[in-house]
Chain A
């Protein structure tokens, strides 16, 4: 190799391609609502993680008379039907809500990718069987099914997470399958196959990384829907009685809607803002990762 002059190296650097992740991040940051969503979401995560250390009132302890109005006696959000500090409950409940949401989303993404990639890669009878199973889970009224699982196996966090994850993977499976069907016919896959790559290598190393962008977007949105799902189950009374979550606060105080609506308003607002932030992040990721899809 010949030695390059200083000026030409500089020019080369100017035209060097950006790392794809840097490019994605730059496109993401240009989108104001997506950045907003990310900031709100980070705030919520930080509050949920650090909040319990700073605001250390026990969310299960009775601190004052039931139904203390917000602002009275120094309880910023008032107390619930047992006289427990509502602000403490919301701060402590965030951790569980977010954890269950993320864990359930992870589980369903895992199931979805497995089923989607296998049926998209192997086609034939494998696809036939796996897509039948997917259809079955699409027809099943998901909330009722999860209620049955939680009711039969007990309301503990692992069971609840499992019950949410097992019913919400169908969208991921369909997206993964569609991507696999598209990508498996591309030339670089054929090239890889022609030099003797094994199926497992093709699936994991060649096709999956290229199928990831839409899956990542869907996974983000899924955290939001898992949080809504967990809230729904808890609202119906199917929550782990030993932990506090936003849905559980609403479920506990369900009978007192007319008496003191604010108890139900604040935790619901927390869920709403969290899911909204996650949706904004998901939309932003979608625009940043799939610029070709952005038509209008």
Chain B
């Protein structure tokens, strides 16, 4: 995390132009004296290491600066948009893992069967299709041709809804974006689940379970699945930063009001503090997600104790 911050800081300084330039342009021009005054206001006249220390000290108390485009503090701005992104990312991950594991298990139980081939093809297609293109195709089919789902947004703003109705409305809007985002990762998880399930089904303890007369269903879903899930969970943690990247594109396609659309708007507006703040926060999300993955891992596999890897 610390490295992200320092990198952030230097990116800000490496970039041509500074805040004073931006403000000057917005104000329609300024003379040297005014530029100096602005630079002094923002502490830009100090030596670079002092600026770095100041920046780090501010981030510790979650002060990421001020968005001069939106005119509120960057932290507030990000916290306002974060829930939408988390909702999208988490639902897409859960959807992808569920579908992926189910497909993988079915494929593993019959390695030469039709599901098995389907998983292989799906893995290739899911990897190769640009995620924003998948989203656009879904919009064309399910929003434009058959108007089943809304084309975008978080909720229907034309009608005031409260409580349950509002929740259902958000869910209705969530369907297409989360399917789109999940589509890249379903393939990954199903291939992984298939491989690890095949491994586990060939192991001795599964044969023992079968030998003592347990039903096929119990053996597969109680004994084998638990162990076969481990690589899937590991992968879920590893690809989390990829999910965030995908979310940026999916949010843009579906005008989902999350961090991704905010990042794109901020880039168009050249709002550097906001962009860097988003980079910082999304790295934070990935770190937290990895910690959670470790926790889930321990629940599934109690043999793993703390402190040893």
Contacts and interface: CB of A to CB of B under 8 A. Distances in A.
Interface of A: 136, 138-145, 147-149, 151-153, 224, 228, 231-232, 235-238, 247, 250, 254, 257-258, 261, 264-265, 268-269, 271-272, 275-276, 278-280, 283, 296
Contacts of B133: 250, 264-265, 268-269, 271-272
Nearest to A151: B267
A268 B283 contact: no
Q: Is the interface of B mostly helix, strand, loop or mixed?
A: helix
Contacts of A232: 130-132, 245, 248-249
B96 to A, nearest CB: 17
Q: Is the interface of A mostly helix, strand, loop or mixed?
A: helix
A257 B136 contact: yes
A258 B139 contact: yes
B284 to A, nearest CB: 10
Contact of B124 (A238, A269, A279): A279
Contacts of B287: 139
B128 A144 contact: no
A78 B4 CA distance: 46
A34 to B, nearest CB: 12
22 contacts: A138-B241, A140-B4, A140-B286, A143-B244, A143-B248, A144-B244, A144-B248, A144-B278, A145-B279, A147-B264, A149-B11, A224-B128, A232-B249, A235-B249, A247-B130, A250-B133, A257-B139, A264-B136, A268-B129, A268-B136, A271-B133, A278-B128
Interface of B: 3-4, 11, 14-16, 111, 124-125, 127-133, 136-137, 139-140, 143-144, 151, 198, 238, 241-242, 244-246, 248-249, 252-253, 263-264, 267-268, 270, 272, 275-276, 278-279, 282-283, 286-287, 290
B270 A151 contact: yes
B127 A275 contact: yes
A247 B130 CA distance: 10
B238 A140 contact: no
A293 to B, nearest CB: 12
Nearest to B134: A268
Given A138-B238, A139-B287, A151-B267, A236 B252 contact: yes
B242 A236 contact: no
A138 B3 CA distance: 13
A142 B245 contact: yes
A264 B124 CA distance: 22
Contact of B111 (A250, A279, A296): A296
Contacts of B253: 257
Contacts of A276: 124-125, 128
Given A144-B263, A238-B267, A258 B128 contact: no
The winner among A142, A143, A237 for most chain B CB atoms within 10 A is A143
B4 A143 contact: no
Nearest to B145: A261
A148 B249 contact: no
A141 B244 contact: yes
A141 B241 CA distance: 5
Contacts of A271: 130, 133
> Which 7 interchain pairs have the tightest Cβ spacing?
A268-B133, A143-B245, A152-B15, A276-B128, A275-B128, A141-B244, A261-B140
